[in-house]
Amino acid sequence: MNIRKLLGIELPIIQAPMAGVQGHALAVAVSNAGGLGSLPCAMLSTESLRNELEKIRSQTTKPYNVNFFCHKPPTPDNEAERNWRQTLSPYFSEYGIDVNTIARQSGRSPFSVEAADVLEEFKPPVVSFHFGLPEPELLERIRGWGGKILSTATTVDEALWLEAHGVDAIIAQGIEAGGHRGFFLSKDIVTQVGTFALIPQIVRSVSVPVIAAGGIADAQGVAAAIKLGASAVQIGTAYLLCDEATTTAVHRTALKQDSARVTALTNLFSGGLARGIVNRLMCELGPINHIAPDFPLASAAIAPLRAKAESLDRGDFSPLWAGQNVSGCKEISAKLLTKELAGL
């Protein structure tokens, strides 16, 4: 099945959903340019989700993608949370934050019946998932309105699992990718594979189309991914400086430095493993620290530190998500970037 026909797009370019740095505007711009724009929905309330979808529907007639997480929410653990706040207490003192005022909410929910109810009003043509797939009955609802289903694999085993569970295409996420790793069968970082090795092995193992992700920054990268057997690419980092992205000022500044070349996988900002530019918190606690509570609980205690530091133009406590190749970041419109990525 040709992926452009499958997804109804002209260009083999999918804009990666990036929660926290974009909303409908970026998705609309990419879809209108002929690629597939994506709306990250993991941090949206049902009201916000409906609001965003209304804007997309009023601003484009092209296909678009909505992305959800499908993690199993962890049971809150008071002792783990206490240890985490204890570890962060020198920073709370430094910024004059009263630890008792810090909320416990993480703000990230897995795909749900309520979200599916909202989607049903809009019938988005593509729904993508991170961390596996939701329950079969939720997938059936999406199929019911003709929605195509994508999910992320970080290993051949995950790709085989996703194919067996009926996805229409697989996003092969190499270790270079920025943001959260979509792994779900094994949480062993050792099993994580570079894009160059991952794409051809997944292509060889499944019969659905494969979308390459991780380290793809320009038209040459897109062409190389296609050579490796990918049917399309999913690109996030390169869009972070686009006019339509809501990337914060500290994040934009960080992306333009030479030091943006040094990223690491870290669990400090959410409890899940994600790649970002190395900053103060990652240096001081180590990028991977077992004291951080399980995904997504770690983020609650970081939030006030991040807010205070960003108000002082510092990204010391911000998740500066980025992949291992920021050379494609450009301060241009997403329309222009999408065309450039497609070699037009």
Contacting positions for a second copy (CB under 8 A): 155-156, 174-176, 190-191, 193-198, 200-201, 204, 214-218, 220-221, 223-225, 227-229, 261-262, 264-265, 278, 287, 323-325, 327
C-beta of 190 vs 312, nearer to a second copy: 190
Q: Which of 299, 317, 302, 303 is nearest to 250 (CA)?
A: 317
Q: Between residues 147 and 214, which has the closer beta carbon with respect to a second copy?
A: 214
Instruction: For the CB of residue 219, give the shortest distance to a second copy in the complex, in Å.
Output: 10
**CA angle at 18 for the pair 47 and 87, rounded to the nearest 5°:** 95
Q: Evaluate whether 324 touches 275 at the Cβ level (below 8 Å).
A: yes
Q: Is 335 helix (H, G, I), strand (E, B) or coil?
A: helix
Q: With DSSP H G I counted as helix, E B as strand and the rest as coil, what are the percentages for the chain, rounded to 5?
A: 40, 15, 45
| Region class of 203: left (phi > 0), else alpha (psi between -120 and 50), else beta | alpha
CB of 217 to a second copy, least distance (A): 7
Give 17 or 215: the residue with its C-beta nearer to a second copy: 215
**Exposed / middle / buried, residue 141 (Cβ in 10 Å: 0-12, 13-18, 19+):** middle
Cβ at position 174, least distance to a second copy in Å: 6
Cβ partners under 8 Å of residue 114, min gap 6: 46
Nearer to a second copy among residue 65 and residue 266 (C-beta): 266
CB of 275 or CB of 306, closer to a second copy = 275
Q: How far is the CB of 218 from a second copy (least distance, A)?
A: 7
User: 228 is written with which tokens?
Assistant: 């490796």
Q: How far is the CB of 258 from a second copy (least distance, A)?
A: 9
